Amino acid sequence: MKLASNTTARLQALPLALVLAVFFLLPLAMVIMVSVWDYNEYEMIPAWSGRGYSDSFEGCLAQLPELCTILRTYAETVKLCALVWLLTLLIGFTVAYFLAFHIKSRTLQIALSLLCTIPFWTSNVIRMIAWIPMLGRNGVVNQALQALHITKAPVEWLLFSEFSVVLALVHLFSLFMMVPIFNSMMRIDRALIEAAYDAGASGFQTLRDIIIPLCKPGIVIGSIFVITIVMGDFITVGVMGGQQIASAGKIIEVRVNALQFPAAAANAVILLGVTMMIIVGLSRLVDIRKEL
Amino acid sequence: MKPINRRTMLAGTAATSVALCTPAIHAAEPKVLRYLGTAVNEGDDISKKCLADTGIKIEYITATTDDVAKRVITQPNSFDVLDTEYFSLKKLIPSGNIQALDARKIKEFNNITPVFTKGELPNGKKIGGQGTAPWKVLYLDGPKSTKFSPTPTDYVTLIPTVYNADTLGIRPDLIKRPITSWAELLNPEFKGKASILNIPSIGIMDAAMVVEAMGTYKYADKGNMTKAEIDLTMKVMTEAKKAGQFRAFWKDFNESVNLMASGETVIQSMWSPAVTKVRSQGIPCVFQPLKEGYRSWASGFCVSKGVSGAKLDVAYEFVNWFLSGWAGAYLNRQGYYSAVLSTAKANMAPYEWDFWMEGKPAAQDIKGPDGSLLEKAGVVRDGGSYNDRMGNVACWNAVMDENDYMVRKWNEFIAA
């Protein structure tokens, strides 16, 4: 009997397993394979070569203590990622908290959640371009600052800077943090909160000892979303950073565009490795399977 | 009457034999061509006119310059006709995915401007040949060859269609003084207001124009640098970047328009239609001729190795139609140049020809192909005549032998 239900479960998982195998594992295996191939100007040469990797880490020992290109790039990417993660977490958690505990009507909750998707209603390109009249040298913010006599000259770092990159990423991805946390919060038994209140816990104690621990799965899932997306992003970093800020994804893009596929694949594998390490670290903190 | 030479004679016989052999096939299947290229050249007007004139239905496959090359390398059977630039041939031809076209089947081949075939103007003046100049990669050794021939043969890689001379775009209203040299791009006066193109192979050539203009170094070939030259060029650019010279780098046509129109930048590498677009918003913008000359580019048609038989005939028919004048006039009116000048001239009004090609003041308002007002009467084109502009080409868009090294250095520059 036990065996039979086990078989059924496996059969049920089979379609997804097949899809993942064909459209995820197989391409990934090919990327890893190609990453150790050689290449010339126009084609990949299926012969073992560590060139994709050795070129990527070019000068990393020789230039010490100066950082080489790839380390500097990753330092930048990780820094942006950490900033975006922190801000989306704060904003996402706050918004989710408001929606879950302060809005009583289910309809209003849904309506307000939908509002959070507004940043996704326009195309990436349009959204980026729209920041220029807002943050640019002659943009709304600068005009307001000058009209209020807060600054005399236009503030240059509002656009094409780390600030604008983080702003745009946070604007985009707070939703990805908010939704899983909101989901976790909605599962919290309201009786627990009442019990805490009855036992004399302050609002902060309830938050720290009840709500945050129970939201952990949502926080980790949201963090995985945000971190994986931001680590690989090159479009937003490129456009908002005025193409002057390096990102791990940008290195891959430049290589692909130069038809240097093995080098691009090697960089993709490196990026995957770094991202996996971060994710593994996160899941050490919380056992998602247990919590779900 | 033109003297009959071997090529026109053969072209005649070829055309006749095509006409004799193919009507049955033409009747059987509709004439469709899958046209792979960038959005810049893929106008609806051109495909509509082509359908009306020849019955050939053009199906556009639109991609960015980089993606076009990727597609040719990885999916050669996904298109019939390819619209690409000469510099990419150094990558595409060795892949074997492109077949040579037979010059004898191209009616106007002998009328193609000598800019392409000999590297000189119609008046005989030699033009700059640094980089991947078209005449270096125009011919192949044989019909199935993947080697470029230094001397003319009948096997042509890319039948030229359109080309132009690129320079810096500036905002004269914000700069308020004459700009005459590429060196101005790194002039600290424009700190935080300059921009450069973030396509490594083209961006580094603009950078090289600047380095040379500043008197720092003179290149043997800006389009084919040595590793030491790449290092030197990127060092100059990296210092400028660290000093905050650049507001942003741009990669996309619209990005360049926005940077300039919003006043984020006042001097930057730019493309001619982008300057026109800024100007059409009522914002002053000049495609500034500079004393060191232009960086030129040229594109044309070639055919996938997968095309043969009746389809190949349709491809030749399309290329011949394209060179027959209407499309050339259309391109000239956009500020580009057409490969066959004589047929384009026949399709333009004399006042249009005088403005676009002769560099004369517009006798009446100049309109774009879509009928919109481009320039008022009395205006002279930036850079002047065809001879003044194409005659001052210093180098051509290129792929270097050290491309791999250059790309790595470019990534380093972005990360600096």
Enumerate long-range contacts of B346-353, CB under 8 Å, 24 or more apart. Answer: none
Summary mean pLDDT of chain B: 90
The confidence band for A43, taking pLDDT boundaries of 50, 70 and 90, is: confident
Q: What is the pLDDT of residue A32?
A: 95
Judged on CB neighbours under 10 Å (0-12, 13-18, 19+), B153 is: middle
* C-alpha span between A101 and A190 (Å, rounded): 9
Compare CB distances from B262 to A69, A138, A259 and report the shortest one's residue: A138
Compare A114 and A167 and report the one with higher pLDDT.
A167
Do B47 and B260 meet the contact criterion of CB atoms below 8 Å apart? no
- Which chain B residue has the Cα nearest residue A252? B411
In the predicted model, is pLDDT for residue A240 greater than 60? yes
ipTM entry: 0.79
Token pair 């030479």 in the structure block, residue: B5
Is the pLDDT score of B2 beyond 60? no
Residue A71 forms contact with B (CB below 8 Å): no
Best interface-test mutation with A: which of B90, B405, B414 has the largest number of A CBs within 10 A? B414
Q: Distance from A279 to chain B by nearest Cα, in Å? A: 25
Q: How far is B15 from chain A (nearest CA, A)?
A: 35
Q: Do A132 and B258 touch (CB under 8 A)?
A: yes
- Quote the mean pLDDT of chain A: 89
B95, B201, B414 ranked by CB distance to A42: nearest: B95
For chain A, say whether B264 makes contact (Cβ under 8 Å): yes
B173 touching A (Cβ < 8 Å): no
**B357-383 pLDDT per residue, tens:** 999 999 999 988 888 888 889 999 999
Q: Encode pLDDT of A74-117 as tens digits.
A: 999 999 999 999 999 999 999 999 999 998 888 998 898 888 88
Q: Is A250 on the interface with B (CB under 8 A)?
A: yes
- Higher-pLDDT residue of B42, B205: B205
pLDDT band at residue B28 using 50, 70 and 90 as cut-offs: low
| SS3 per residue for B267-323 | EEECCHHHHHHHHHCCCCCEEECCCCCEEEEEEEEEEECCCCHHHHHHHHHHHHHHC
| A146 belongs to a structural domain | yes
Strands B168-170 vs B286-288: parallel, antiparallel or unpaired: antiparallel
- Residues A173-197: what's their mean pLDDT? 92
- Contacts of residue B89, Cβ cutoff 8 Å, sequence gap at least 6: B98, B132, B137, B148, B157, B158
Closest chain B CA to residue A128: B255
Å from B211 to nearest chain A CA?
Answer: 20
pLDDT-above-70 percentage for chain A: 97
Is the Cβ of B404 closer than 8 Å to some Cβ of chain A?
yes
Q: Where in chain B is the domain with CATH 3.40.190.10?
A: 6-162+297-346, 168-292+385-415
Q: Residue A159 and residue B200: Cβ atoms within 8 Å?
A: no
What 8-state DSSP symbol labels residue A47? Answer: E
Q: Write down the pLDDT at residue B373.
A: 85
Q: Tell which residue, B70, B76, B238, has the closest CA to residue A260.
A: B70
CB B415 within 8 A of CB A72: yes
Sheet containing B168-170: order of strands: B246-250, B194-197, B267-269, B168-170, B286-288
pLDDT, tens only, B64-97:
888 898 899 999 999 999 999 999 998 899 999 9
State mean pLDDT over B389-406: 94
pLDDT of residue B325: 94
Chain A residue numbers touching B248 (CB-CB < 8 A) = 160, 241-244
Q: Does A123 touch chain B (CB under 8 A)?
A: no
Tell me which amino acid residue B159 is.
I
Local confidence band at B1 (pLDDT 50, 70, 90 cut-offs)? very low
pTM of the model as a whole: 0.83
Contacts 24+ apart (CB under 8 A), B367-373: B367/B333, B368/B276, B368/B333, B368/B334, B369/B43, B369/B45, B369/B330, B369/B333, B369/B334, B370/B45, B372/B280
Count Cα atoms within 13 angstroms, Cβ side, for A180.
22
Is A55 within 8 Å of chain B by CB?
A: yes
Query: pLDDT at residue B313 above 90?
Result: yes
Within a domain: A187: yes
Residues of B in contact with A238 (CB under 8 A): 251
**Model confidence pLDDT, tens digit, residues B172-190:** 999 999 999 999 999 999 9
What integer is the mean pLDDT of A41-56?
A: 87
Residue B17 pLDDT greater than 80, yes or no? no
B84 against B38, higher pLDDT: B84
Instruction: Confirm whether A8 is domain-assigned.
Output: no
CATH of B6-162+297-346, one of 3.40.30.10, 3.40.50.10420, 3.40.50.150, 3.40.190.10: 3.40.190.10
CB contact under 8 A, B262 and A73: no
- Per-residue model confidence as pLDDT tens digits over B185-219: 999 999 999 999 988 999 999 999 999 999 999 99
CB-CB under 8 Å, B255 with A256: no
Is A10 part of a structural domain of the chain? no
Q: Does A259 touch chain B (CB under 8 A)?
A: yes
pLDDT band at B393 (very low <50, low <70, confident <90, very high): very high
Q: Which residues of A touch B252 (CB under 8 A)?
A: 125
pLDDT at B10 over 60: no
pLDDT digits 0-9 by tens, A6-35? 888 899 999 999 999 999 999 999 999 999
Three-class secondary structure assignment of chain B: CCCCCHHHHHHHHHHHHHHHHCHHHHHHCCCEEEEEECHHHCCHHHHHHHHHHHCCEEEEEECCHHHHHHHHHHCHHHCCEEEEEHHHHHHHHHHCCEECEEHHHCCCHHHCCHHHHCCECCCCCECCCEECCHHHCCEECCCCCCCEECCCCCEECCEEEEEEEECEEECHHHHCCCCCCHHHHHCHHHCCCEEEECCHHHHHHHHHHHHHHCCCCCCCCCCCCCHHHHHHHHHHHHHHHHCCCEEEEECCHHHHHHHHHCCCCCEEECCHHHHHHHHHCCCCCEEECCCCCEEEEEEEEEEECCCCHHHHHHHHHHHHHHCCCHHHHHHHHCCCEECCHHHHHHCCCHHHHHHHCCCCCCCCCEECCCCCEEECCCCCCCCCCHHHHHCCEEEECCCCCCHHHHHHHHHHHHHC
The pLDDT of A176-202, averaged and rounded, is: 92
pLDDT at B14 over 80: no
Considering CB atoms only, which of A42, A239, A257 is closest to B92? A42
**What pLDDT is attached to residue B24?**
46
Range of A185's domain?
69-291
Considering only alpha carbons, which residue of chain A is nearest residue B201? A258
A199: buried, middle or exposed (CB in 10 Å: 19+, 13-18, 0-12)?
Answer: exposed
| CB contact (8 A) between residue A246 and residue B414 | yes
Residues B282-285: contacts with CB within 8 Å, 24+ apart? B283/B171, B283/B173, B284/B171, B284/B172, B284/B173, B285/B169, B285/B170, B285/B171, B285/B172, B285/B260, B285/B261
Mean pLDDT of B1-5: 46
Q: What is the pLDDT of residue B356?
A: 94
CATH code at A154? 1.10.3720.10
How many folded domains does chain A comprise? Answer: 1
Which range (A125-134, A223-232, B7-16) has the least confidence? B7-16
Between chains, do B264 and A76 touch, taking CB under 8 Å as contact? no
Please report the pLDDT score of residue A284 as a whole number. Answer: 83
Please give the CATH number for the structural domain made up of B168-292+385-415.
3.40.190.10
Q: Is residue A61 part of a domain?
A: no
Report the pLDDT averaged over residues A47-52. Answer: 88
B297 to chain A, closest Cα gap in Å: 18
For residue A120, what pLDDT is reported?
80
Distance CA A174, CA A163 (A): 16
Across residues B44-50, what is the average pLDDT? Answer: 93
- How many angstroms separate the CA atoms of A224 and A254, rounded? 26
Interchain pair B414, A243: CB under 8 A? yes
> In the Cβ-directed half-sphere of B172, how many Cα atoms lie within 13 Å?
13
Q: Which of B91, B95, B410 has the CB atom closest to A254's CB atom?
A: B410
Kindly state the average pLDDT of the residues A183-206: 92
Strand duo B159-166 + B337-338: pairing: antiparallel
The per-residue pLDDT for range A259-276, each reduced to its tens digit, is 889 999 999 999 999 999
| The pLDDT value given to residue B18 | 46
Is residue A217 in a domain?
Answer: yes
Q: Contact at 8 Å (CB) between B368 and B196? A: no
| Amino acid at residue number B15 | A
Residue A52 belongs to some domain of the structure: no
pLDDT in tens, A71-83: 999 999 999 999 9
Contacts of B413 in chain A (CB under 8 A): none
Integer Cα distance of B170 and B218 in angstroms: 25
Residue B56 CA, distance from chain mean position = 24
Identify the pLDDT of residue B25.
47
The pLDDT of residue B387 is 95
A170 touches chain B (CB under 8 A): no
Tokens 């408001």 -> residue: A98
At residue A3, the pLDDT reads 58
> A38 vs chain B: nearest CA distance in angstroms?
12
Of B70, B199, B200, the CB nearest to A259: B70
